[in-house]
């Protein structure tokens, strides 16, 4: 139950600040649409999407806790912050910058959380897990790292882990180059105009493509003994390396 509460809180904060970053980036580029509609806020309730912020993250958390015993993957979304791209001097490039602000915020938050661990008197065991020579052993090590917290420091340490996990997964996942994910909008801003317009048209079906690629198709093929999960496989490789990189950037070292 403790892991569920900490994970949910971490995910809501990561998603909320991700969306707020889009709004602040748009404002910096001259678009005050989000501000005028009351969406330029750090209040999580302003950004809640009933399914993407509540139902899906809780479902993923419960499923993983009952099947894996720990949280290995998080995903969700908030109500998109409204942006009026026509207010930017260069609309496509402006939207790319606004889109990039979300993942950039998530990576910054993960790094800031890792910095906060420096205040702890002892290095948490889960931090040491990410400095194993063989990153494939990380999951096995993590099973030993989480017990029932008995002290405030352990609650704090576990929350930092879930907060870093939520931000890394959200940031990396949103960099997939499929509209309406942030990565797709970044690609639209970088491509020549003709190609950009064609890529932007994927946005209408983009979320369906994401759901099929990430959730439905891998699960359906698994029932027939076919291992096809490109996004999950990529994240399983990138997350341990991402954790290690951010911990190193925050001043943590292998010997604790």
Handedness of CA 22, 57, 50, 159 (dihedral sign): negative
List, for residues 179-219, the tens digit of each pLDDT value.
Answer: 889 999 999 999 999 999 999 888 878 778 877 877 778 87
Q: Tokens 């994970």 appear where?
A: 7
Q: Give the tokens for residue 95.
A: 């939207």
256 assigned to some structural domain: no
254 assigned to some structural domain: no
List, for residues 75-115, the tens digit of each pLDDT value.
Answer: 667 788 999 999 999 999 999 999 999 999 999 999 999 99
Candidates 19, 122, 154, 203; catalytic one = 19
What is the structure's pLDDT at 256?
A: 47
pLDDT reading at 70 higher than 70? no
pTM of the full structure: 0.85
45 assigned to some structural domain: yes
What is the structure's pLDDT at 75?
A: 64
Asked if 19 is an active-site residue, the reply is: yes
What is the structure's pLDDT at 174?
A: 92
255 assigned to some structural domain: no
- The domain tally of the chain equals 1
Structural domain boundaries, residue 212: 2-249
42 assigned to some structural domain: yes
222 assigned to some structural domain: yes
List, for residues 32-57, the tens digit of each pLDDT value.
Answer: 999 998 888 888 788 878 887 778 77
């Amino acid at each position: 139950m403790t892991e569920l509460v900490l994970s949910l809180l971490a995910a809501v904060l990561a998603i909320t600040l991700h969306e707020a970053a889009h709004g602040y980036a748009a404002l910096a580029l001259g678009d005050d649409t989000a501000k005028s509609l009351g969406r330029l806020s750090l209040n999580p309730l302003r950004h809640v999407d009933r399914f993407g912020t509540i139902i899906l993250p809780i479902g993923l958390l419960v499923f993983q806790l009952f099947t894996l015993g720990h949280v290995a993957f998080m995903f969700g979304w908030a109500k998109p912050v409204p942006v009026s791209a026509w207010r930017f001097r260069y609309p496509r490039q402006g939207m790319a910058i606004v889109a990039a602000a979300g993942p950039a915020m998530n990576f910054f938050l993960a790094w800031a959380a890792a910095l906060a661990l420096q205040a702890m008197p002892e290095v948490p065991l889960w931090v040491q897990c990410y400095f194993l020579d063989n990153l494939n052993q990380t999951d096995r090590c993590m099973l030993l790292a989480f017990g029932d917290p008995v002290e405030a420091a352990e609650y704090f340490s576990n929350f930092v882990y879930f907060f870093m996990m939520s931000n890394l997964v959200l940031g990396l996942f949103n960099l997939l180059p499929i509209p309406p994910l942030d990565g797709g909008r970044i690609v639209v801003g970088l491509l020549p105009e003709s190609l950009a317009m064609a890529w932007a048209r994927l946005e209408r079906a983009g979320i369906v493509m994401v759901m099929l690629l990430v959730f439905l198709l891998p699960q359906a093929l698994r029932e027939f003994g076919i291992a096809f999960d490109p996004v999950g496989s990529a994240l399983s490789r990138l997350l341990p390396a991402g954790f290690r990189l951010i911990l190193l950037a925050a001043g943590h070292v292998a010997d604790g």
